[in-house]
Structure formats: structure tokens, C-alpha cells
Structure 1
């Protein structure tokens, strides 16, 4: 789509830039100080009024909305009016896989609507009418939200919490990745010093747990790639975790072991000894040419060896990640990877759509896979998952995502990740430990929260541990 530019004239006292620009982008228009189109936003007789002038042509759209309405409702109305006026100009409405929803967590809206009294059987039509969701996505979002409510009932303020431990190291940087992870230190002393910091953080969290009687149901060690640590240091990390965070209430203990190039028998044994019962081993693709192109230092054969070794272990729940849209891959390449992943019959399968993230090697490059083909592959992934008895249970979206699609997690009944639901829907407390981690405390309304982000840089994290301990305490107080 050729990019065009429009000038925005806002006559209101409220900010309208984000919702207007998000919708204009579907039509190939970007806001600028000069452009071939001019869009004015005003308010009259209880309606937002948008007037779009392109050359000698002009178009008008209005949407009823009170200026005293909640911010989300104002945003929705502005988006609908923007889509209306640009559709008049274009003569059609482009494909909008998630309607006017552009946020990362559409599930939060679905939960809020159900909490507000929308009946479950009416939710798909409600989403379709008021947010322009296509019927398939409206049904999918409803299905996921109802499944989450059954799996993890809404918590009171301090129950059913989760813990995340961040290990911000990787063996190499993938070209599509924007996670704040660095290359793992080569010397074990530096690695062990990092684990010592994590233990200090854990000890502080243990005090927090006792003060607030938090019930920990999930524990997730992620990154980065936690298994990028040496066998010895990785085992030490798990011993520290098992020593201080071993709770009778813990149902799920996940380790992100996504990179087969730093997987080992010794690390698998350490996970078994610590009681890990869920693990991610992620090929991302089943093509060696793509793995080399994106900077992953392993082969498809390495993935199979790691996966088979995990299958022989005592760890019962395995997740496999795939990415649709990696550079150089055709629809046929991706279809092959989807079928190969499904054939393994993992308990969990997460299908991502490539996102162009700022700060990555791929940002700004053209997406080689057409959006329509990406959407068809997402549907193929859903069908393959269903054939293996896996149902969708969580999802999230990102900006600059190929085809404006979504990342969707599928699971066999009874194996759904508690942590993934806690983190994505933000209706339960999550305590972050380590650099780049986040602690979240939902407010009483169930839809807003307080949040504390730990520093991304390990040195900054180390220098300011005491102050962040105090801030985390204030968050829960």
C-alpha cells in the first residue's frame, strides 16, 4: 500500500491523535504537517464530526458520543467516525481483522464487557456491532475469555498470584527480537554474580508474600533465554528458586528453554530436580535457511533432539512456538512448519505473527508475506491445533504486526498456562523478579492496575535494588 499523508486539525480540548491515526493507517494514510488530505475533528449536537477533504472532494462522518463518557468510549467513537469518513473517500472499508481494536490485550475488553453485564451469548454480536470485529474473531475472543474465566476465576485483590523471574541473556540476538536481553557473559563468575542478585530479590519477595498472604499459583522463569547460563550456574539458579519459592499452592512451574543451541541434558536434569512441570522448546520455524537468516545458532535437527529429550523426561507439559512471516519464507514454507509442529502433538502450541519491532534488525524492512496469506496461515494453524485437541486459551496483539493479526496460544484441556493468563489479562497480581521484570497489582475494578518495571540494564538493576524493593512494597501496600 502506497503511503499518503494527511493533516489533522483538532478543534477539541481532548487528544484525538492516536485513535485517528491508528484508523487512518488502515487506508494507507499517515499524519504529517503537510499532506494531500485534510481531516478536521469537531463536536456538535452530541456527536463527533469528522470532515475529510481530498483535493476537491470532501466527506463527512459523525458519531454520537458524550464528551463526559469514559475515555475508552470516546476512543471507540472517534475510531468509528474515522473509519466511516475514510471509507467514504476510498469507496470501501479495508480488511480489519480485529476491527477498531488496536490494543495489545483485546481480552481485557471482553472481560470488562462480561463483567458489565453483557451476556456471553450476546458478546460476539456486541463486538461485531460496536467494534467492527469480524464474526470469526468476535467468536474467538468470546471463546477465549469464557475459557479463562473457567480456568482462573477472578481473584480478590491478593489471591492467585504469579511470579516471573527474568534472565536477560541470550546466546545470540535474533533479528526480529526487541526483548531487552544481552549476550550472556562468557565467564561463570559473572553469571553467578547475577544469580546472587536474583537470590537477594527473591528473599525480598518472600517477605512480601508473608506480609500479604499471597497465594502463588504460577512461577515462570523467562528472559531472554534462562538456559543460556552455563549448566552449573543454571542449576544454581534453580536450586535458589526451589529453596525459597517452593509453595504447596504452586500448580505451574515454567522454564523458557526456547533456544535448542543452549539446551543440555544437565539443564534438563536440573529442571526435573527443581519440580519444573512446564517447558518451552521453540523452533520458530522448521527451515534451517530461515534459522540462519534470523541469527539463531541451531538447526532443526537440534530442536528435534531437544524436544525428544524433554519428551523422555518427567516434565509433562511442553510448549512449542512458531512465527508466521519470518523473512524469506513463503506460505508453503510456513504451512510445512505448522504441520511439523502439530505432528509433534505438544500440550501447548503458540502461533505468533511476525511483528516489526523498533530497535530490531528487521524494523523498517518490507514484509514479504501478503497479509491475506498470513491470515490464511493463522486459520490453518487453528485448524491443525483443533485436529490435535488443542483449544485457544490466550492471545495478544502488537503494533506493526503483519496483517494486523494476533498471537494465539492453544492448549490441550487441563494444560493451559496459568501464568500466561495472569500476565496477559492483568486481573491477578504478578510479582516481577530480576531485570526487565514487571510487577502488577490489579485495582478493585478488575480493569486497571498499578505497575512497577525493573530496570533493563543489569548494572542499573544492581545499583538500585534497595530502592526498587521499597517501590515494590509500596505497590502492594
Structure 2
């Protein structure tokens, strides 16, 4: 975006208004001023010496933020009519929660569609998707709401992908930190599970993510599992996911070690099935490596394998996407998570030229999404969760598809915020739900691995304050 000045007379709505403005990816130098009278909101836009004024009536009965966003949205759509906004004025990342809340009020689907279209300007296609997913999720919400889950962070990677914004450590530089890191993880888990109240609560799922957890050696992985088996009640856990991630961190011996553990769900994440793209994004493996890794996983008995894809990677055409999904259809994973590329400030991609970023934004991601949806349907999968991020190409979404008996309970829980998730390890974020108060409290662990190791007692003390309230 070029230089942009926006002034809003109400500070409480300013953040969301600016988020909506950013979604237009405007390259013009604009000055925008918004102010409200008793019944109207005026949006004044100065662009290239021209001054335009748009007046929008305040929507009575709704949050004031919605009125401001609608006023800005209509003004900008008048100037940039080709800008793609299928989610309308929504800037939040969990649209399905809105549909779920309306369904709980026993509002019929026709009325819900009318409301979402008139209030948020969401397209009919996205509303249908929200309602479809909400219906699928409804079968699992009781189990999710009466239990809790665990997230374990393993923040080490063999190399950093250019689109990645997550905190991680390079394995080359920080290999010596893994064992001390596991020591600190053990301290965290031991402290909280010495508390009998937590131990007796119903644990639904465990998710080991990263980073790339499969960067652990076999001995380190087995040590992590032993720590969990020592302190955490695993007997009634319904789902245990391990992000194997990248085939350059896996071989048959390590996969067999994972299979012998309590892990029930494996995630192998190619992102693309094109060798040229893999090299561009910073991955040290090939498509044939992915295929071999997947086949070994099936051969040794994994019957619940997820694969992740990213749509909109640099220079990928419709032919590349078709090729990727052709491979996916041949492999037949049990679930497929389809991400729309999000251009994040913490990624190395943001440091590329403005021309490269502008080129990414010209991709017809909606066509890519349609092909991926068709592939998921071919495989017998249904969409069961979705979420959005800032700066996504074409203002679209990420969608998780799965076979009916392979739907991830953890993914529903984390996205719909219906469950407490206690997170362990550096960079992880615990979310404590208080449904009676319609409130969620977040507690973040220290991101820096070395600081986390050196200050794990402080991490424990900070989180324990919220744990004591929650239990």
C-alpha cells in the first residue's frame, strides 16, 4: 500500500476500520476522514487532487463499528468496484462463529442468510459455506465444550519458508537448544499435571505443532512422548495429532517410531506438488520425496493423514494447481487443509519487491479454490472448518476438508473457540474459555526459545494465575 492517511472521529472503531481499509490493497495515495452526526456517517476521500464525499445512514441496533465499516466499504467500492470482497466488511478470522451464534438463537437459514448479507455484505456463496460448516460442526460441539485440549510447541525448522510468519528456530543454528528445550517443556507439564484438578478434567485432544516437530531426532521424539505419558492422562484422548510437516525431516525409521507412539493423526504438508515452487519457497525436498513419505506412512499403518496446501504461491498457475491436486487425488489423504496465501509482515516474502507482491494479488485465487474444492469433493471430503487471516489474497479464506470419520476435533476447537486449550512451549498461546461470561482469556508463552528455557519458572507462574481461575 502506498502512503495512506485515515482519520476517524471515534477511536474505539479505528482499529477495525483500518483493517477493512487494508483489505482493499490500495496503491493510490489517499487521505480519508470519517465522522459521525446524529444519523449519518460521512466518508471524505481525497485522491489525486479530487475530493469525494460519501454519506451513509447509521444502522440503528448494531454495533457502531459496523456502521463505520459499512460507510467506508461503500465509499471504497464506489471508487474501486473491481476489488474482491466476498466476505464483505468482516475482518474477523472466525466467520462460522457468527453463524453458530445465530443458529443457537433458533433463527432459520433463510433469515440468517438475509441478515448476514444485509449486515456484513457477505456473498451468498460464503454464507452457504458458513452454514454448511456450522451444521457439520454441530455434531461435535458437545464433546468439545465439556472437555479441553493441549497444544505442544516444537519451534524448530530445517529451513524457513518465505511465506512463513510463525516464530521458529533454524535447526542448523539452534540444534543444541532442543534437549534443554525438552527439559523446560517437562518442567511446564510436570507443574500443571501435578495439580489433580487438571489431571481429572476430560482431555479431548493433543496437538504437537511448530515449527516442524519432525525435526526432533527419534530419541528426542521418544523422550517427548515419554514426558507426556509420565504426566498427562492419555488413556481417553480421542485425537493425537503430530505435524510431521516436511519429508526432509522424515524417514521410515522415524515414521515407525511415531506410529508406535500414541499419535493417531499425522500431518504431512507439501504446500505444493511442484518442484520449482518448492525451491522458490525455501524447501529442501522434492515432490517425489513427499510421495515416498506419504506411501511409507500408509504402508506402516497410518490411517489418518492430513495434507496442507497453499494457493497463490509465487508464479503458480492454474496448471500448477491442477497438477498438485492431481497428485493429492492419487495419494488419497484423509483430510486436506487448503490455505490462501497470506502476505505477513514477519515473512521474508514481504521483503520482496512491491511488483512481486502486486503480481501475487492479480492471481485468480477463486479459480484455485474451486479446483481444490472439486478435488476434496472427488475424495469424498466435506468442509468442516474455516478461518481467515489478514492480508489474504483476494480476501478469501482457509478451509479444512475431511472424510466424515476423520474430522479433526482440535481444529474445530481452536477455530471456533469453544474449548480451553492449554499450550506448552515457547511461542504458544493458551486460551481459557469462560462460557457463562462469554469470555476468553489468552496467556502467551515467551517466544524466544533461549529466553523460554532460561525463564520457564516465570512462564509457569504467569500461566498458573489463569489456570487457577479456570479450574
TM-score strictly above 0.5: yes
Q: How far did residue 419 of structure 1 move?
A: 0.8
**Aligned partner (choices 107, 111, 123) of residue 118 of structure 1:** 107
Q: Equivalent residues in 2 for 1:204-353 (5 A)?
A: 204-208=191-195, 210-211=197-198, 213-353=200-340
Residue of structure 2 in register with 1:386 after alignment: 377
Q: Equivalent residues in 2 for 1:432-471 (5 A)?
A: 432-445=423-436, 447-471=438-462
Residue of structure 1 in register with 2:364 after alignment: 373
1:107 is the counterpart of 2:96: yes
> Quick one: structure 1 residues 261 and 446, their matched pair in 2 at CA, closer, same or farther if it must change by over 3 Å?
farther
Q: How far did residue 280 of structure 1 move?
A: 0.5
Q: How far did residue 371 of structure 1 move?
A: 4.6
Deviations 1:353-397 (A, max 9, x none): 111111222115324345562111111111110121100011111
Residue of structure 2 in register with 1:82 after alignment: 72
The answer (yes or no) to whether the contact 1:440–1:450 under 8 Å persists in 2 is yes
Residue of structure 1 in register with 2:18 after alignment: 21
Deviates more, 1:366-375 or 1:94-103: 366-375
Q: How far did residue 227 of structure 1 move?
A: 1.0
Q: How far did residue 209 of structure 1 move?
A: 6.0
Q: How far did residue 38 of structure 1 move?
A: 4.4
1:425 is the counterpart of 2:416: yes
Aligned to 2:235, the other structure's residue is in SS state coil
Residue of structure 2 in register with 1:129 after alignment: 118
The answer (yes or no) to whether the contact 1:330–1:369 under 8 Å persists in 2 is no
- TM normalised by structure 2 equals 0.91
Cα distance in 1 for residues equivalent to 2:419 and 2:31: 44
Deviations 1:402-422 (A, max 9, x none): 111111110000211111111
Cα distance in 1 for residues equivalent to 2:79 and 2:211: 46
Cα distance in 2 for residues equivalent to 1:28 and 1:441: 34
Aligned to 1:462, the other structure's residue is in SS state helix
Cα distance in 1 for residues equivalent to 2:213 and 2:78: 51
1:8 is the counterpart of 2:6: yes
> Quick one: structure 1 residues 370 and 444, their matched pair in 2 at CA, closer, same or farther if it must change by over 3 Å?
closer
> Quick one: structure 1 residues 52 and 190, their matched pair in 2 at CA, closer, same or farther if it must change by over 3 Å?
closer
**Aligned partner (choices 125, 130, 133) of residue 144 of structure 1:** 133
Aligned to 1:150, the other structure's residue is in SS state coil
Q: How far did residue 466 of structure 1 move?
A: 1.9
Aligned to 1:341, the other structure's residue is in SS state helix
The answer (yes or no) to whether the contact 1:325–1:374 under 8 Å persists in 2 is yes
Aligned to 2:348, the other structure's residue is in SS state coil
The answer (yes or no) to whether the contact 2:203–2:233 under 8 Å persists in 1 is no
The answer (yes or no) to whether the contact 1:185–1:191 under 8 Å persists in 2 is no
- Could you say which structure has the higher helix fraction? 2
Aligned to 2:83, the other structure's residue is in SS state coil
Aligned to 1:274, the other structure's residue is in SS state coil
The answer (yes or no) to whether the contact 1:83–1:93 under 8 Å persists in 2 is no
Cα distance in 2 for residues equivalent to 1:449 and 1:286: 39
Extract unaligned runs of 5+ from structure 1. none
